[in-house]
Structure 1
């Protein structure tokens, strides 16, 4: 199902994996993404199963309609928060979810202020600074950047994420750390390096990363490796 990470002060994060669900190939089996092409019934069952396994009620979860933007919304109730790629809440009973299958999940908390945030930073979101927007929105809700603890979920790594040189340069225009060279010697994008740099410039000092490359980790969904495929979720909640 995935590992639970203790971020301190009663805050936990978790990244789900492929196994343990009911979806049929090519979405096998714990696909949590409604927009993946899988059946709604299977995804709904998988979401309930994942929540139960992790110890919270699925009705507490806030889901984003992710569109590779840099938009961040504030959630005041569970369910669909709307079209965005970042979500922030001050409610202690809500669970935030970021879906991915190569893009970078960003989970952030200021436990003292009681502010939680989650983002989905794909290539476009990284280029346009969704992680920095997440920090700004959290600060507007009472958090402090220097108190944030940020966990970066698994994503395709800079050695695997091959893109045309033009796309690499566009992604690195505002964040030079995004530019990478793949193992094949071709232009690439390193979303973990880029987002880490964006967070540090925003005043965040406590950043840790899952470290796994989705393309290289068969226990995780990877769009680049397997499309069509499912989505895993990175969850953030208070116990």
Structure 2
């Protein structure tokens, strides 16, 4: 039997089955030790699938877990039934009970959204490219197309790399300032020619700008805590040959 730690939950989503997972529990070993759910990793495929099954059972027992083939885009797909081949996208929405939506991350921001009255939910993977491109905007628009209302949508931003751990260069910063000069507030000066970027704060800003009035930012940094979370940047800095992924899951209320 695969064990998982209790998922991290957000109070704004308390009426909806959901959870953000780290690496605690699971059956993966070695470099991927813990609850690695990354189908694209070099981990044992059977272990990854067992970990994914255990995670969805901990959040929404008996549902079918669906995750996209993530490409760091702003593309959102509306799901009405299980799919055999994962669509290339970075967000999914649904209003169908029996389905659970998930996104995997390893420093990028997982965003879970719900309109309880419409029984519409969404899950988005917001790395910097997707966040800047508008993946949360696309998710909200797709939810509205299913009957949700922006002012009723609540959202939570799960574990992701924090400003203190996310150093970027001038070129990176200019991308955001070229899109909106006010984006300079999400950067803090670091060593010469470098800055620290607040991904979580930027994602919260994009959600609020799109009309979501209740957003929970969990404030959990994936980079420094190697016992609790996987981190792409940490693995890169350590020269490790691979890295695991954690998952965030949401499902319409039954």
TM-score, length of structure 1 as denominator length: 0.91
Distance 1:38 1:181, change over 3 A: same
Distance 1:50 1:233, change over 3 A: same
Deviations along 1:91-139, one digit per CA (max 9) or x if unpaired, are 1221110110100001100111111111000011011111111111111
Partner residue of 2:64? 60
Aligned to 2:179, the other structure's residue is in SS state coil
Partner residue of 1:229? 243
The alpha carbon displacement at 1:23 in A equals: 1.1
CA distance in 2, matches of 1:101, 1:149: 23
Partner residue of 2:216? 208
The alpha carbon displacement at 1:52 in A equals: 2.9
| RMSD of aligned Cα (Å) | 2.0
In terms of fraction of residues, the more strand-rich structure is 1
Distance 1:100 1:179, change over 3 A: same
Aligned to 1:98, the other structure's residue is in SS state strand
Point out the structure with max Rg over C-alpha.
2
Partner residue of 2:201? 193
Structure 2 residue 116 is the aligned partner of structure 1 residue 111? yes
Larger mean CA deviation between 66-75 and 194-203 belongs to: 194-203
Partner residue of 1:23? 28
Partner residue of 1:169? 174
Aligned to 2:136, the other structure's residue is in SS state helix
Which consecutive unaligned segments of at least 5 residues does structure 1 have? none
The alpha carbon displacement at 1:24 in A equals: 1.7
2:154 to 149, 152, 173: 149
Deviations along 1:159-199, one digit per CA (max 9) or x if unpaired, are 21111210122134335167412665731321111111111
Aligned to 1:163, the other structure's residue is in SS state strand
CA distance in 1, matches of 2:219, 2:202: 14
Distance 1:194 1:173, change over 3 A: farther
TM-score, length of structure 2 as denominator length: 0.86
Aligned length: 238
